[in-house]
Amino acid sequence: MIGFHIHPRRRQVAADIVARFAGLPVANISDVMSRMAAGGAHLRPMHDGAPMAGPALTVKTRPGGNLMVHKALNLAQPGDIIVVDAGGDLTNAIIGEIMTTYARRRGIGGIVIHGAIRDSQALRQSSFPVYAAGVTHRGPYKDGPGEINAAIALDGMIIEPGDLIVGDADGLLCVPFDRVDAVCQAAAAKQAAEARTFEEIAAGTLDTGWIDARLAELKCGGI
97 annotated binding-site participant: yes
98 annotated binding-site participant: yes
62 annotated binding-site participant: no
17 annotated binding-site participant: no
DSSP for the chain, written as a single string: -TTEEEPPP-----HHHHHHTTT--HHHHHHHTTT---S-TT-EE-SS---EEEEEEEEEE-TTB-HHHHHHHHHPPTT-EEEEE-TT--SSEEE-HHHHHHHHHTT--EEEEEEEE--HHHHHT--S-EEEEEE-S---B----EEESS-EEETTEEE-TT-EEEEETTEEEEE-GGGHHHHHHHHHHHHHHHHHHHHHHHHT----HHHHHHHHHTT-TT-
35 annotated binding-site participant: no
29 annotated binding-site participant: no
Cite the annotated binding site by residue number: 96-99, 118-119
Cite the annotated binding site for Mg(2+) by residue number: 119
Cite the annotated binding site for substrate by residue number: 96-99, 118
